[in-house]
Structure 1
Amino acid sequence: MRNSIWVFVAVILFSSCTSEVKDYSAIKGKVNVEDITSILIQGKGYTKEIAVNEDGTFSDTLKAPEGMYGLIAGVDRATLYLKNGYDLNLELVAGEAENTVLFTGEGAETNNYLKEKAAFFMSDYANPKSYFKLEKAAYELRLSEAKAKFNESAVDISKVDSSVIEIVGQSDKQLFAYVESNYEQNHASLAMLGAGKPSPVFSNYENFAGGTTSLSDLKGKFVYIDIWATWCGPCKREIPSLKLLEEEYHGKNIEFVSISVDNIDGKRGSHESWLKMVKDEELGGTQLFADNDFNSEFIRAYNINSIPRFILIDPKGNIVDADVLRPSNPKLKDYFTELGI
C-alpha cells in the first residue's frame, strides 16, 4: 500500500513539472517571399536575428521579456506579441501591398487579434481628419460605424492575452475621445479650407534654383505641395516616393513644390541644412524655403502643426485637398487620374 502511495505522489510531481510554463517562447514557420534570408525580432531592448533556410523555413527559441516586438522581414514589418510558453507558427506570405504574417499555434489568438486591430489603426477609420471634414450627421454616422467596426473580431477574445486587450482598448479610447472632443473646432477650421475654396497664398519664398517664387507664379497648373523639414524622419521617408512621382508626371499639368519649415533661428534644422540636403539628395521639383518656419503666414493659414503635410491646389488657385494623400500612398495616382492630371 505504501509503495502505491509513493507511485501516486511521483506521478503527480512528474505531471506538475511537465506542465510548468517554459521560460522562453518558440517560433517556427516559413517565409513564402523571395530573397528573405533572415527575419529580425526587435523590441524592449531585445534583438534576435533568425536565419531562414533555403526552403524558406525557420525555427528558434526566444528568451525575450513579455511584450510587443517588431518582426522585420526585408522591407516589411509586423507586430509580434511574445510571452513565455508561446509556441507560434508563422507563415509570411506576399500580399498585394505588403507581406502578411499568418499565425497559428499557442499564442496565435493574441497575435491575430493584434494584426486585426493594427489593420483598423492603419485604415482611414483611425484618421481624425476623415471625421472632421464631415458635416454633423455624416460625422455621427461614421463615428458609429467606426466604433462598431473596431469591436468586430474574428478572433476568440477569451483566448487573447488580457494585457493586449487592455493596450488596444486604451488606444481605442484615446482615438475616439480625441475625435469627439475636437470635432467642432476642427470641422470649422477645415470648412474654411474645403475643396473649391481659394487657397491661402505664399509670396516670394526663396527658391533653391535662384530668385523667389510665389503661389501666383504657378497658376495654370495643379500644385502638389509638400511641407517638410530636414529634421523630420517621416518627411525624409517620403522623398524616394516623391522623386518617383515627379519623374512619372514630368511634363504633365502639375507642379511639385516642396516648402521647408526648417527653423530660421537654427534651433531645429536651419537654412544651411536645407541648402545642403536639397543639394546632396538632388531633390527635384520646386524647392522653397518658408519665410518664418511654422510661423509663416501660409503655414498658419493651413493650420499646419505637424509634418509631413501635403496640399493639392487646382490651376485656378483653389483648394482641391488641404490634406491630400502622401506620395507613398498608391491611391494618390488614381486620385490624380480622376482629376485628369
Structure 2
Amino acid sequence: MKKISLIILALITIVSCTKEHSKDFLTFQGTLENNTDSILTISGQGFNKTIKINADGSFKDTIKVEKKDIYSMQTNTGKRGFIHLANGYNLTLTGDSDDFLNSFKYTGKGADGNNFGIAQVLFSRENGNPMEYFALEKDAFDAKISSIKEGMEKLYSKYKNADTSMVNKVKSQNKQMFDFLEKGYEKQHPIAKQRAEIMALVAKGKPSPKFVNYENYKGGTTSLDDLKGKFVYIDLWATWCGPCIREIPALQKLEAEYHNKNVAFVSISSDSDRRSQGSWEKANTKWKNFVAKKELTGIQLWAGKDISFMRDYQVNSIPRFILIDPQGNIVDNNAPRPSDPQLKKLFTELGV
C-alpha cells in the first residue's frame, strides 16, 4: 500500500511539474509562401525575440514572455504585423509574404485571439482614418459610426472564443475612440471639412503640387518636372524619424527590384534647424552624413527651408509616401509604404 501511495505521489509530482513547465513558454511556428526574408523579430516593452526564417519560408521556435500581451512582428525587410502571445500557447501561422497580414491565419492554442486581432485590424483599414469622419455632415457621420459599431459587434460574436483580455482591450480602445468622435464632432467638423476641401486639391487624378530646385545629394538641384515621363514614388522623411528609418531596408530592396523600370524613387528629407541646434547648415550636414553612412540609393533630396510641397499635401506626420504618374498627376497622395505588399500590387496594376 505504501509503495502504491509513493507511485501515485510520484505520478502526481511528474504531472504537476509537466503542467507547470508547459506554462513557462510558448511554441510559435509557421510557413510563409513567397518568402524572401530571413529574420522575424517579435518585440514589446522590454522584450525582443529573433526567429530565423528558413529558405522555404518555414520557421519554428519557443518563446518565453513575461506577460500575456500584444507584441509587434517585423521581418528584416520591414514587413510588419502583430501577434498576441502568452506562455502555454502553441501557435501555427500560415500566410503569404506578398500579402503580409491580410493572408495570415493562425491555428492551435491562442489562434482565436490572433485571428480576431487580424480581422479587427483589416476591418479598421476598410473604414479609413476616423479623423476623416469629422468632415462628414451629421447624418452621414452618425450613419458611419453606427455602421462601424455594428461591424465590431459582429466580429465580437464571430470570435467569441478569443482571449477575453484581448477582446476587452480592443473594446476599451474602441469605446474611447467612439467617445472622442461623438463628443468632438461639433468642434472638429468645420476644421475637418476645411481640410477635406484642401485635400480635394490633391486627390487622385489631380496635377501634383511641385517641388522646385531641391538640393540633390549627388550635386546640383532636382525639380519634380525633371522626372516627367516616369512614375515618381516619393518618400517624405527625416534622419531623426524612427519609423522612416525602419522603412529604408524595404525601400532599398524595392529600388533594386525596379531598377531600370519606369519609376523614379525620390526621398525628400525634411531635416531642419529645429532639430539641429538652430542651424540649417548642421541640418544639411546631418542629412548628407546619414545618406553616406547608410549608402542610400534612389534620388536623395533635401527640402531645406522650402516646406511648400509638404504643406500642399497637408503632411503632418512622416514617413509619408506619394505616387505620381508619368504625366505629373497624383495616383495616391498617401501611398502604401515600401514594406506594404500592396505597393507592389499597385505597381503591377499600373504597369510599372
Same fold (TM over 0.5): yes
Structure 1 position 160, deviation (Å) = 4.3
Structure 2 CA distance, aligned partners of 1:278 and 1:216?
23
Measured in 1, the distance between the counterparts of 2:237 and 2:335 equals 14
8 A Cα contact 2:211 2:309, kept in partner: yes
CA distances 1:155-174 after superposition (whole Å, capped 9, x unpaired): 226x743x534421233245
Aligned residue in 1 for 2:8: none
Inter-partner Cα distance in structure 2 for 1:243 and 1:74: 15
Partner of residue 208, structure 2: 199
Q: In the TM superposition, what is the alpha-carbon distance from 1:310 to its structure 2 partner?
A: 1.0
Instruction: State whether structure 2 residue 115 is matched by structure 1 residue 102.
Output: no
Residue 120 (structure 2) aligns with: 117
Q: Tell me the distance in 2 between the aligned counterparts of 1:38 and 1:251.
A: 28
> What is aligned with 2:327?
316
Matches within 5 A, 1:1-341: 25-29=23-27, 31-33=29-31, 43-45=44-46, 64-65=66-67, 67-70=68-71, 78-82=82-86, 87-96=88-97, 97-98=99-100, 100=104, 102=106, 104-105=108-109, 110=113, 112-121=115-124, 123-128=125-130, 145-153=147-155, 154-156=158-160, 160-161=163-164, 163-175=165-177, 177=180, 181=188, 183-265=192-274, 266-267=276-277, 270-292=283-305, 296-341=307-352
SS in 1 for 2:127: helix
Give the whole-Å Cα distance in 2 for the aligned partners of 1:168 and 1:149. 14
* CA distance in 1: counterparts of 2:38 and 2:297, whole angstroms: 35
> TM-score normalised to the size of structure 1?
0.70
C-alpha distance in 1, partners of 2:255/2:41?
A: 34
- 1:196: Cα distance to partner? 2.6
The aligned amino acid for 2:296 is L
The change in CA–CA distance for 1:282 and 1:221 in structure 2 (over 3 A counts) is same
State the 1:46 CA deviation: 5.8
Distance 1:130 1:73 in 2: 28
Whether the aligned pair in 1 keeps the contact of 2:135 and 2:196 (CA below 8 Å) is yes
Higher CA-based Rg: 1
Greater shift in the superposed pair: 317-326 or 261-270: 261-270
SS of 2:83's equivalent in the other structure is strand
Distance 1:104 1:327 in 2: 31
RMSD over equivalenced CA pairs, Å? 4.4
- Measured in 2, the distance between the counterparts of 1:235 and 1:276 equals 16
Number of residue pairs matched by the alignment: 310
Describe the SS at the equivalent of 1:270.
helix
Aligned residue identity for 1:89: N
Rounded to whole Å, the distance in 2 between the matches of 1:288 and 1:37 is 31
Q: Percent identity at matched positions?
A: 39
Deviations 1:18-43 (A, max 9, x none): 9xxx8994554462449999998754
Q: Aligned AA for 2:332?
A: D
TM-score, normalisation: structure 2: 0.68
Distance 1:148-1:257 versus aligned 2 partners, 3 A rule: same
CA, structure 1 residues 167+248, in 2 after alignment: closer, same or farther (shift >3 Å)?
A: same
Aligned residue type for 2:261? K
Q: Tell me: higher relative CO, structure 1 or 2? Use CA pairs within 8 A at least 6 residues apart.
A: 2
Contact residue 227 and residue 310 of structure 1 kept, 8 A = yes
Q: Which has the higher helix share?
A: 2
Give the letter for the 2:267 counterpart.
S
Could you tell me which residue of structure 1 aligns to residue 9 of structure 2? none
Q: Give unpaired runs (5+ residues) of structure 2.
A: 1-15, 53-57
